[in-house]
Amino acid sequence: MQDIFLPEPWQAALPNLQTKISDVMAGLGESLMNPAKDLVLRAFKLAPSDVKVVIVGQDPYPNPDHACGLAFSVPKGVKKLPPTLINIRKELVSDLDLPISETGDLSVWGERGVMLLNRTLTTVPGESLAHISNGWETVTGEVISYLATKPVVFLLWGKRAGELSPLIPLEQQICGVHPSPLSAYRGFFGSKPFSAINTKLAELGESSIDWTI
C-alpha cells in the first residue's frame, strides 16, 4: 500500500513516528479501509505546538459516509448523524447552552486547538475495531505521551480511551463515560465535559475553547 506521511511539524517532534505509521500501513496491505487513505492522518493537520485539547476516540465510524479522519466528527453535509455524535451534541447544549447548528462536522474545533484523535486510525468498512491489533495503538500512544508533557488537556471517554490515563498527569485529564447509546445514560449525560476542559485549561494558564459548532 502506498505510504502516507505525517505533516512536517509532527515528524520534527516525533522523528520515529513516520516509520511506525509506514509499518502499520504495510501490514494492512491493500485492504479497504475507513477512512479513505488520504484522511487517515487528518487529525495531524493540527501542529503539535497548536494542540490545547485532545479528545480521544476509539476507532473510525464503520460507515464510510461517516468516517472522516477526526474522532467523533462526520463530513459536512451528512444528514443522518451517528447516535454517539447526537449524544455529544446534546451534552454540548446541556453543558454550555450554546446555539448549535445541524452539522456533525466538528473540524472547526481543530482550528481552535482541539485534536480529535482515534486510538486506532483505521478500520474495515462496515466493521468496528477491525484494526485494533495492527499497531495503531503504539502510534497514538506515542503521540499522547508526547503531548502529555505540554499544557494540554485530555478527554478520555470510555474504557479504551481510559487505558491512556497512566500516560497523562492527573491534572491534565478528564475521564468519563463513553457517549455511545450503550453507555451514555450511565454517566455521560450531565457530566459537563466541555466546561470541565475549559476549567482545566484555565488552571494550566491556557485560554478556553469556544465549543460552538
Any catalytic annotation for residue 59? Answer: yes
pLDDT at 101: 85
What value does the mean pLDDT of the chain take? 95
Cβ neighbors of 49 (< 8 A, separation 6 or more) are 9
Options 38, 59, 97, 105, the catalytic residue: 59
Cis ω on the peptide bond leading into residue 193 (within 30° of 0)? no
The mean per-residue pLDDT over the stretch 123-148 comes to 93
pLDDT tens digits, 35-94: 999 999 999 999 999 999 999 999 999 999 999 999 999 999 999 999 999 999 999 999
DSSP 127-143: -SSTTTTSSHHHHHHHH
pLDDT at 39: 97
Does the pLDDT value for residue 99 go beyond 70? yes
Decide if 51 contacts 66 (C-beta within 8 A). no
> Residues in the chain, how many?
213
pLDDT-above-90 percentage for the chain: 90
pLDDT at 192: 98
The mean per-residue pLDDT over the stretch 111-119 comes to 97
Measure the CA–CA gap between 85 and 78, rounded to whole angstroms.
Answer: 12
Instruction: Report the helix count and the strand count for the chain, using DSSP H and E.
Output: 7, 4
CA-closest candidate to residue 120, choices 142, 102, 140: 140
Does the pLDDT value for residue 2 go beyond 90? no
The mean per-residue pLDDT over the stretch 107-115 comes to 97
pLDDT at 75: 97
pLDDT at 13: 98
Task: Give the domains, in start order, of the chain with CATH numbers.
Answer: 8-203 (3.40.470.10)
Does the pLDDT value for residue 1 go beyond 60? no
Q: Report residue 112 as a C-alpha cell.
A: 481552535
153-157/53-57 β-pairing: parallel
Decide if 46 contacts 85 (C-beta within 8 A). no
| Rg of the chain on CA atoms, in Å | 16
Decide if 115 contacts 56 (C-beta within 8 A). no
pTM of whole model > 0.85? yes
pLDDT tens digits, 160-205: 999 999 999 999 999 999 999 999 999 999 999 999 999 999 999 9
